[in-house]
Amino acid sequence: MKTSSIEPFFAALKAANPQPNTELEYTTVFELLTAVLLSAQATDVGVNKATRRLFPVANTPQAILGLGLEGLEGYIKTIGLYRSKARHLMETCRILVERHGGQVPRTREALEALPGVGRKTANVVLNVAFGQPTMAVDTHIFRVSNRTGLAPGKNPLAVEMQLLQRVPPAYAVDSHHWLILLGRYVCQARKPRCWECVAAPWCDYQPKTPRP
């Protein structure tokens, strides 16, 4: 994608969705961290179904610890890999209580030190909770960035670095949401719905998928 196309590409996405947000349901930073940790290799819809049961009962690190491992597993067993995720979440809660006063830390280093929290999860928390212009490259963003020519890369980190360089500052904070939603609903894996895409005029993908 030409540099001159990037600004109108994001302007079109912004015009269509001025205030994008994550589709994970949460009301606190800890709830967000929990939901993102549970969302690895799972859908946001599936995670939301589980957290709607979990959060009214336990939505703080201390309360999660109070459930015990088996208790926690009972609430999240509908999510893939729930046993390992439950262990990671319990250990994360213990660390938050013992080292951070029960609060979610605001730095990448401290977040990535939590069990089950990798670079992508840390990026989501830093962006959504703390407003930092980070890029959490999931499968949707990876596909969209390569397919459109916006930020080609052979792995998620390469794409992330490209995005950080190429996305104009005015769009940086919200850009990861626009790209995820674009990939989830329009620029889909099997066949992109180019005829529905507001940003198609600036995208390098050829040939564009015609209207069925």
**Residues with a known catalytic role:** 120, 138
93 among annotated binding-site residues: no
CB atoms within 10 A of CB 101: 9
Cis ω before 133 (30° cut-off from 0):
no
Distance between start and end Cα atoms, the chain = 26
Q: Is 187 labelled as part of a ligand binding site?
A: yes
Rounded to an integer, what distance in angstroms lies between the CA atom of residue 40 and that of residue 192?
24
Is 197 marked as binding a ligand? yes
Instruction: Identify the residue whose tokens are 């939901």.
Output: 35
Phi and psi at residue 31, to the nearest 5°: -60, -40
197: DSSP letter: -
User: Which residues sit in the known binding site for [4Fe-4S] cluster?
Assistant: 187, 194, 197, 203
Annotated binding site: 187, 194, 197, 203
